[in-house]
A and B are shown apart, each in its own frame.
Chain A
Amino acid sequence: MGQNFTQIQVEDFRITEEPFYLPIADEVALFESAYNQHLPVLIKGPTGCGKTRFVEYMSWRLHRHVGDRDEEGVPLVTIACHEDLTASDLVGRYLLEGEHTRWIEGPLSRAVKTGAICYLDEIVEARKDTTVLIHPLADHRRQLPIEKRGELLQAADGFLLVMSFNPGYQSVLKDLKHSTRQRFIAIEFDYPTRVQESEIIRMESGCNGEIAQDLAKLGEKVRHLKSHGLAEGVSTRLLVYAAKLIVDGIHPLRACMTSVVWSLTDDEEIQQAINEVVCSIFEE
């Protein structure tokens, strides 16, 4: 059995091929400027509108030589935040090895050392006490204290803290603390326009222009239901999924049913309404 997976250290991950990204406004220039000025970036926007893809694209774009490794792009360390994410998970912890302990560095420490872009996805999901940990990193100090070892890490030059959050469905309890959010410049993302979105769908899925246009139209219509029954509009990602299924031979109605209607909501009435919109756009 051949080994058919790759395993690399988290700080070695680089985007080596240009990811498809269609700039919507001046976000690329803004990010580049922030990177150059060491300003941490907060990316706001609804689910599936391209936040993660943008970070990937930027990491590829910011061709930098960091440390000894002469690779393409800036390393990208992505940390998906969740409720149980502790400070140890980010910074590092001691493990037992034989009769000794061994220090295992967390992904944040590694990113700080290697000068990577550290992308904290869905930061509000993390507990507030964890979030406070990044404060010294996110201001002029650019330092990460490692309490357990009594050390202080000064970030490498290429390091940039980026975090994303979706203001849409967060309750008051899950809002960002002001002390946190006021350390970042914020770039707001929204769903692309119909024309842009159909281009994205076409490029991502390889479907024909007509299907892409219809799906983008569907996206626009379904998003009209946001806050009128739907908590979130349909993401571009889901539309791309639908397009991929269609390209693979699934009937458009079925593809939209599985990737849009059922994914979006469990409320039968809204499901039916969305399905009626799908049936209005795609022919049987």
Chain B
Amino acid sequence: MNSVTIRQLAASYADELVELDAGLVSVFEQFADAIGGDLGTDEFSAWLGAHRHLSRAFSDMPEVSIHYLLSSEEILAVSDLATLIGCADIALELAHRSPEIANAFLQAAPSFLGRAPSSSLKGWADMGLRMRTDSWKSVALAKTFFALSPCLLESTSLESFRVLAQVVTELSRHSIELATSCLKQAVEIFASLNDDVHLPFLDLAAAIVKSNWADAWLYFEQVLGKLNRFQPSETGTFLSLISPIAAEGAPYERFEEISLAVSQFDESEHGELARMALRLVDISPAAAAEFLLSAPFLRERLTPVLMWRWLEMGLEKAGDDRGLEQNSIEELDAYFRLQSVTADKALALLSGRVEFEKSANLFRFYGQALTGDKVLVQPVSHLVNRGLGWTSGSRATTEGRVIFVPPYIDLFGDIEGNLQVYKVCIAHQSGRLTFGSYDFQYDVDGTYLKSGISQRRDANTEPTIVPMQKFFNQFQDRLLIEGLFSLVEDYRIDGCVQAEYPGLRKWSLKAKDHEVSQRPELLGLGLRQVFIENLLRASLGHLGSMRWPAPWKPILESALGSLAIAARPEATVQDAAEIASLLYGLATDIPNIPAHKIKTEWIAIEDCREGLQQPDVKTLLETIDIVGVRELDYENPVQPVFFGDLKPELVQTLNALRSGSSLDRPTEEQIQSMLENSVEVEDADLDSVAEQIEIDFPVLVEEEMGDEDCTEYPGSLDTTEVISWSTYDEWDFRANDYLNDWCQLGERNVAAGELEYYEETLAEYSGLVMEVRRQFELMRPESQRALKDLDDGHEIDLDKAIQFFVDKKAQVGPRARFYARRDKIERSVAVAFLLDMSGSTDESIDEEGAPGRSAPMPGTASAAQDSGKKIIDLEKESMILAIEALDAIGDDFGIYGFSGHGRNDVSFHVIKELDQVLDDTVKKRIDSITPLRSTRMGPAVRHANAKLLACPAKVRILMLISDGRPQDQGYGQDAGDQEYAIHDTKQALVESKQEGIVPFLITVDKQGHDYLQEICGDIGYEVIADIESLPRRLPTIYKYLATKA
């Protein structure tokens, strides 16, 4: 009955629909039966009412009501009629804005209701609606949103879903395409990430959208790959950490960098690291970011406990945690960026690690003192970079002329201990050079052993280039003999070094104790390796740590007896070779079977008797059944870090190249054939090594020999020009601290140009030159000044004395002032001229000229603009005038130029050193002064200070001649930040003053008054508005300074 009524209701409604849209009727009829089956009459009638509303409201767009019909059954399947009616109401509302959105809503509604409560329906619709603006693209976005909603809800919570919608809406205000892409990407992200990470992920997304919306897509696209870098349980924490950092405006790359930095930590330490960063993030998100970026560097040097200490030290420096002033925040950021001296000091205090670069000079002097000659001490990476066959970047070594040491040493927890290990390293390498490790000669007797004491097998007569090669060639197993030779020779050298430097013994022993504690487990090795390893331990003085099968004791005892000969005071490298050859004889008989398979008693050997005993190895070996046990591949034991690689064959070859005449110099083919047999070059391309050795090496040797103070090993950097590199701090006024070792300054000699320029300039200014010279000569003191009429002095002025006696006799009351004295007057002035060689000095002199421009002086150049002169030309001309004048007076003067490109390449050009004689080279160099790059004044001033301080003058003057304000890439936060550069320059000049130097700044920039006042404070400066007067003005200023000082 009921059904009849429903059918009637349906039929009557169908009639109604015919009037509205005939097409709609058939769809309606298709669904009416199914819906009607589930509902009561009233309910059916309500359903019809809702449809009526929709279809009437949008009679011209029947799709909305059709979608209602299509979704009704599914909605009823997961929800109730009230919800369905609610959907219709919402759809009606949506359709008023955009029927398409309403359709999408109705389409997605059934699936949505399957995953979310019906109460969230309205909110959901609002989310979609908020995405819609006026454009069709926004409609598409909202449709996509509704379509993807069920899918998103499948893998995330409703709360995350809401946040995502907010993020997408916010992003859509900037770019709808980006918002759409991110929305689509979110499906995959949610499906892949753990639930607890969804909200932190979205928080960061919101922060990125807010501060750098354009980066949002990068974030959505790449986040999954980056998040893998975090330990899964800490991923959320890190994301929450990074959110405030991103909110402060950090770009996406920061997230990328941080995740990379964190990934360098062991996953078990991620939690601790996150807690450290959390400690900072509330105080300064930027500091937290800097800390995370610095963390891998810190971790290399500090334990987590000490990292906490370092962190707290940084916070203490900044003062109270909360409410920091802007300045302190910047100090804090600099501290955690590791760009403040305080941070460095704190690190040095906590870390015991000693780095080569920080004490390079000390090690260089030490190595030089021990070795003599022109030996250099450098980090081993320089050698590895040259591709001569050395590949280990961490073990000390030498190639015959330079001592190479590890880049850092961190064996012990304290600086003192590690510093001493460096000394042990250097002393050992120095020992190799001074006690003749590379002086082996074939077939020469040692002090204690005769050459060829043991029968060499397989006598080899192949042609060889060095004696060591010939010696090694006599043995079938090159690997074994080289390993043994290194071991014995290092033992011998160690003995020599201990005897020569008894003060090092204590630290050498400590280093050896440490080394032995790190040696591999004996039972994990092959038996022959155990034999060699035991010898190595014995050579380190640790007999107690040896283990050996008891029945075979005589074998090891015999070996130890031979080895001990190397420690005799007069033993030479020849003895070492013979001992190695004896040990080789023993070792080859020992099978390299796994030690743990030898079932017998393993004993310690506490003492050994020096001497040569020859046990019958083969008979002894038969005492234990080892038949059928498979041998392992043999490997030499790794030499201790402080002994490092010996490589006698390679070094002898290099030495042959160094000293040999071109006739007996080995050829590339010979070198290559040597390398093929040698085991000294591992993991390297033999062809390229041979080429490096033969072709590049001799060139480099010449460079080495030519440059006495060569601090940089040739080949590692572009040294064609740079004579030496120096590092200088830079003043960061915001952090109120120095940035440690911030600038790299390369000193270069200016190439010589033509002498004509100098002479022509002199001719051009001949009148002025004369005048200036005359003025300067007036300043020149008499070397002897006679003082007369003195009460006391060195000499008697006889005229005055006679006068005195005459007066006395005449009783006219004379005064006894007839002594004379000659005082030596010394003028001791040194001046360094520092010329701006930045690109801007290339500008022609302003056509307009300065208001105060004077008429051209007779005899000087005519108006400069006529000749098309540039600022740099006038700088050069001024210098020539100054040189002429200074030469007349005899003051020490240096001329330097500076330019630069970024903090790592500040160029300091030497035209004339302070103690250099004024010769044609200097005059020619002036011609070559050319405008180069930027103006990083601070480091240049500091370098000039250092030069002046090294000069033994009583008065030191620094004259800085520039054409504008200091500026350089990275000389300030951005290109517009002039404050930073000005403050650094000011600080550098203040340093000059503090060291007793008189700084003076001259600028030809008419706007110079603006910033010079700030740079100079109470330091003298002059703005030369009329640039042409520079050549005239400069000597006057100098005269004033030199007299005043």
Contacts and interface: CB of A to CB of B under 8 A. Distances in A.
Interface of A: 83-84, 86, 88-89, 93-96, 99, 101, 127, 172, 214, 217, 221-222, 224-225, 228-229, 269-270, 272-274, 276-284
16 contacts: A86-B794, A95-B796, A101-B801, A172-B917, A217-B500, A222-B369, A224-B373, A229-B365, A229-B368, A269-B362, A273-B369, A274-B365, A274-B369, A277-B369, A280-B501, A283-B506
Contact of A280 (B368, B503, B794, B917): B503
Contacts of B31: none
B372 A224 contact: yes
Contact of B503 (A101, A270, A282): A282
Nearest to A93: B795
B365 A228 contact: yes
Contacts of A101: 796, 801
Contacts of A94: 796, 798
A219 to B, nearest CB: 11
Contacts of A99: 805
Given A89-B794, A284-B506, 6 more contacts: A86-B794, A93-B795, A172-B917, A224-B370, A225-B369, A269-B361
Contact of B368 (A93, A217, A225, A272): A225
A86 B502 contact: no
B502 A281 contact: yes
B824 A84 contact: yes
A154 B505 CA distance: 65
B822 interface: yes
Contacts of B824: 83-84, 127
A93 B709 CA distance: 51
Given A94-B796, A277-B366, A277-B370, A283 B500 contact: no
Given A83-B824, A225-B369, A279 B362 contact: no
Interface residues of B, number: 29
Given A217-B500, A224-B370, A276 B362 contact: yes
A224 B362 contact: no
B367 to A, nearest CB: 9
A116 to B, nearest CB: 25
Contacts of B366: 273, 276-277
Contacts of B118: none
A96 B817 CA distance: 12
B371 interface: yes
B427 interface: yes
Nearest to A94: B796
B504 interface: yes
A277 B504 CA distance: 9
B528 interface: no
A229 B365 CA distance: 8
Nearest to A217: B500
B647 interface: no
B361 A280 contact: no
Given A86-B794, A94-B796, A96-B801, A280 B423 contact: yes
Contacts of B501: 280-281
Contacts of B917: 172
Contacts of B795: 88, 93
Nearest to A228: B368
Contact of A283 (B505, B801, B805): B505
Given A86-B822, A93-B795, A224-B372, A280 B365 contact: no
Query: Which of A84, A99, A228, A269 has the most chain B CB within a 10 Å cutoff?
Result: A228
A230 B369 CA distance: 11
Nearest to B365: A273
B973 to A, nearest CB: 35
Interface string B368-391: 111111000000000000000000
Interface of B: 361-362, 365-366, 368-373, 423, 427, 500-506, 709, 794-796, 798, 801, 805, 822, 824, 917
Nearest to A218: B369
A221 B801 contact: no
A283 B361 CA distance: 24
Nearest to A83: B824
B196 to A, nearest CB: 55
A176 to B, nearest CB: 18
Contacts of B502: 214, 281-283
B503 A88 contact: no
B503 A224 contact: no
Nearest to B818: A96
Nearest to A270: B365
B506 A225 contact: no
Query: Which of B368, B502, B796, B805 has the most chain A CB within a 10 Å cutoff?
Result: B368
Given A276-B423, A282-B503, A283-B503, A224 B796 contact: no
Query: Which of A224, A225, A229 has the most chain B CB within a 10 Å cutoff?
Result: A224
- The 7 A-B pairs with the shortest beta carbon distances in the complex, nearest first, are A273-B365, A280-B501, A224-B372, A221-B369, A280-B503, A277-B369, A279-B503
Contacts of B369: 221-222, 224-225, 273-274, 277
A273 B361 CA distance: 8
Contacts of A83: 824
Nearest to A86: B794
A269 B360 CA distance: 10
A161 B852 CA distance: 68
A272 B801 contact: no
A227 B427 CA distance: 21
Given A273-B362, A284-B506, A224 B368 contact: yes
A249 B993 CA distance: 46
Given A273-B362, A273-B365, A88 B370 contact: no
Nearest to A227: B708
A279 B824 CA distance: 45
Contacts of B368: 224-225, 228-229
A175 to B, nearest CB: 13
A214 B795 CA distance: 52
Nearest to B422: A276
Nearest to B504: A280
Given A86-B822, A217-B500, A273-B362, A280 B796 contact: no
A278 B505 CA distance: 13
B642 to A, nearest CB: 14
Nearest to B500: A217
A281 B504 CA distance: 7
A135 to B, nearest CB: 20
Contacts of A86: 794, 822
A95 B362 CA distance: 57
A269 B361 CA distance: 7
A281 B795 CA distance: 55
Nearest to B709: A228
Nearest to A272: B362
Contacts of A273: 361-362, 365-366, 369
Contacts of B373: 224
